[in-house]
Structure 1
Amino acid sequence: MSLQRTRLTSIYAALLTLGLAQHASAVEVTDNLDLGGALRGRLDYDPDRDLSKLSFDTFFLTADYHSDTWIAAAKYRFYGDAYPYEYTDRVGDIAFAEYAWVGYRFTPEQQLQVGQTAIPFGLAPYFGSTFFETLGNVIGLEDTQDIGFKYLARQGEWDLQAAYYPIPAEQGRGTSRGGRTYGTSVASADTYVVDGSDNHETNILVGRLARSYQADGWNGEVGASLLTSTLENQDTDRDGHRVAAALHATAQHGAWGLQGLAARQQMTPENPGDDRLVSFGSFDGTFNVAAKGNLYVADLSYSLPGQYGWLSGVKLYANYSLFDKDESAFKDSQRFIAGTSFSLGPLWIALEWLHGRNDPYIGGGSYTQSLGAGGTSHWENQLYSNIGYYF
């Protein structure tokens, strides 16, 4: 066993011991301010690529402020010095804010948030039950953030969220030209991206309207979302556009959960080269995405009731997502994830078997072209686990 593996195993053992000894909670600094964070590790196993790594994943810090009227939240993440960032020297060489905003409550049902917030689009907060997330994440619709104003209102069974973002999320620390963010968004391509583009996304308008329901033992919500923005090409000085729309639904019956989403994304960039592609980026990398296509997501989950000693919150799930590209010469992207998540004391653990086809993040295919023209076009597999101590 290598020195690194021995060290990481010791870290995991220490986390486990600490986790079984106490309960995790944010530190209450005052009656209104809580500080917290997490230390997480990851396991990646893919025998086809001779990949077997137990490594540091991330360290993040959070702050939450809440009063009757004023609210605020921030979360900052640190990566580096471990797979897949082995090209960096230390933790923190890759670092960025996930969110940072200040808000005001007009009433208990209405509030305004200003700053870097998650865009209100589709299934919230994620397009399913998985930790690894769906293809919606890597085409810039799931769990992504921008800077601007977000209004939230709830009345009875109706929930409305509307936002205007003049600019995308702030670039953090890293080596990428345009991928130094947590959420995936339109980016300036790195030089290694063939047919990469340099678009800046501005004037982002997003709206989401959902209605909750209860019927015959079932409960959930149905909703619709719309996003529009301007794509300012830095090479041609001409503006293109991005439009995305989605319908979503959730259903819960006892321990069983269902989620579904259908979305359309259509981009008309003014690139100097191929207008069928738009470069996106996140997590210190950039890659191409087909300009036009449909996204489909289906998620099935089952939550085991009760607690079993230190074990609780056990959830089993399966999630399938498909990015069906308009361009006939492009190969569609698919992702299927089967997994489980649970708490062991204050440790939260996810264990997932990943299956991907023309997926930039699974199986070592073409990172830069899988979501564009396509990659190897055959199914790749990988075992992934994330384990974290939250405080």
Structure 2
Amino acid sequence: MSKITHLLSFSLGIILFAAPLLSLGQDKVEEEKEKPKLELHGAVRFNYINSSWKAEQKAKGGEFGYDMIAIKPKASYKKLSLNAEYRFYSEAFGGSFLKSGWIAYHFNPKDQIQAGLVYVPFGIQQYNSNNWFFNITYYVGLEDDHDMGLKYVHEDETFEYAFAFFKNAEEMQFVGGEEHDSSRYSYDVVGRNKETNQLNGNFVWKFGGHVDHRLGISAQAGQLYNLDTKENGNHYAFALHYEVYYHEWNFKISLNNVAHNPKNGEGLPNDRIQMGAYGVPYEVATNFNIYTLSASRKFDINWGPFEKIEAYNDFGWMQKQKKEFDSSIMNVVGFKITAGNLLTFVDYAAGYNHSWLGGNFVDDFSTGTPGAKWEARFNINVGYYF
């Protein structure tokens, strides 16, 4: 018995001596796991442009110049994460501004809540297009939009949904009574009206097997505060959207209905509002439908450093509900080539009553010009993303 007793005592001593060491080792591992992580990404881009409506560009065979530089920090610590992007454009395109920036709390791998300048959950996520120009939905604030608020996101194998509350669009001054600055990345209401107290919901059902489908519905509704009358109007939008993936093919379609009801001051029209981005505002019809259709096909290639090419066509039609207003149309045909971190878009973008494609800029998306001339821009965007 004494030998057994001594053996047990000796074993217990080893355990008592080793336990703190094991605990310290575990604590050290846990401490290493819990250290904050920081990554820095970004992009540098350049553009070649040749526009049908610009005599100088046509005479010179186009122009090649600076597009933008982006800085994209990402960080995480335990269940918290940070995601932001700051862009530097030329002064002619609004200068520098924050595209997005939010802090997220991850409840689990499927659910999180984000706060800050977050992506607005509306329509096909994240892009309703394939090309560098986006689709016509972008130019009226319905694609790749970002606003200030809170968003809850859920994603699993069958469903994706998000609900959000946005207090306002990007607010750069807090004095009161001032108009929104148009130096921003995504299009928002500017001028004498301001977006406020907006609710958003987006729901996507994923199904299929050999062919993958994404069927979704989106809605948003909010107020429009007028600086002159000091009253709140309202605005809303609904969208039905569908995507299908078959091997290397992708098709996207969306139907959008949008209405703005501002409480403008006396003498100001209620059939148009101002929206702005990249430093310059323009008019947009208050009530309209937008129909978009996109198709793309990916090809694996082996041309030196080039790995993949994707050909596409993106079409968008803005049907204004006021009969006197003429439609706006956009079509982009092109392809993008991937070579490691180098991404190149080659696009031929044609527009009818489109502010960025040969229009008079001010009222193309509102009244338009009946019988306006179609104009086009051949564009090559070369970007290195790191």
TM superposition score category, shorter chain reference: 0.7 to 0.9
Larger Rg belongs to: 2
Residues 331, 377 of structure 1: 8 Å contact kept: no
More helix by share: 2
Does the Cα contact within 8 Å between 1:255 and 1:305 map onto a contact in 2?
no
Q: 2 CA distance for matches of 1:167 and 1:48?
A: 36
The answer (yes or no) to whether the contact 1:39–1:59 under 8 Å persists in 2 is yes
Are the counterparts in 1 of residues 171 and 180 from structure 2 also a CA contact under 8 Å? no
| Residue 362 of structure 1: aligned partner | 357
Q: Contact 2:275–2:282 at 8 Å: present in 1 too?
A: yes
Q: 1:303 aligns with which of 298, 307, 332?
A: 298
Which residue matches 2:262? 269
Structure 2 unmatched ranges of 5 or more: 1-34, 174-178
Query: Which of 37, 43, 46 is equivalent to 2:42?
Result: 37
The one-character-per-residue Cα deviations of 1:45-70 (angstroms, maximum 9, x if unpaired) are 02442222211000110011135511
Q: Within 1, Cα distance between the matches of 2:258 and 2:116?
A: 25
Residue 178 of structure 1 pairs with residue 181 of structure 2? yes
Aligned mates of 2:134, 2:102 — CA distance in 1 = 24
Note closer, same or farther for the CA distance 1:186–1:48 as it changes in structure 2 (3 Å cut). Answer: closer
Question: Partner residue of 2:308?
Answer: 313
2:65 matched to 1:65?
Answer: no
Q: Distance in 2 between matches of 1:295 and 1:47?
A: 25
The code of the aligned residue for 1:222 comes to L
TM-superposed CA distance for 1:177, in Å, is 5.9
* Secondary structure in structure 1 of the residue aligned to 2:138: helix
Q: How far is 1:139 from its partner?
A: 0.7
1:210 aligned partner, one-letter code: V
* Cα shift at 1:309: 2.7
Cα deviations by residue, 1:192-238 (Å, 9 ceiling, x for unpaired):
xxxxxx101100111100011114x2103000000101000111212
Q: 1:177 to 1:106 in 2, by over 3 A?
A: closer
Equivalent position amino acid for 1:327 in 2: K
Aligned to 1:97: 98
Residues 304 and 171 of structure 1: CA distance in aligned 2, closer, same or farther (over 3 Å): farther
What fraction of aligned residue pairs are identical, expressed as a percent?
24
Q: Distance in 1 between matches of 2:308 and 2:188?
A: 32
- 1:291 paired residue number: 286
Partner residue in 2 for 1:114: 115
Equivalent-residue separation in structure 2 for 1:155 and 1:222 (angstroms): 15
Q: Which amino acid aligns with 1:36?
A: H
Scaled by the length of structure 1, the TM-score of the pair is 0.83
**SS in structure 1 of the partner of residue 300 of structure 2:** coil
Match of residue 243 from structure 2? 250
- 2-side partners of 1:34 and 1:152: how far apart? 23
Q: Give yes or no for contact 2:112–2:153 (8 Å, CA) kept in 1.
A: yes
| CA–CA distance in structure 2, aligned partners of residues 275 and 150 of structure 1 | 31
Following TM superposition, where does structure 1 have runs of at least 4 consecutive aligned residues deviating by more than 6 angstroms? none
How many angstroms does 1:324 deviate by? 0.3
Aligned length: 339
Aligned with 1:136: secondary structure?
helix
Where does residue 16 of structure 2 map in the other structure?
none
Residue number in structure 2 paired with 1:201: 195
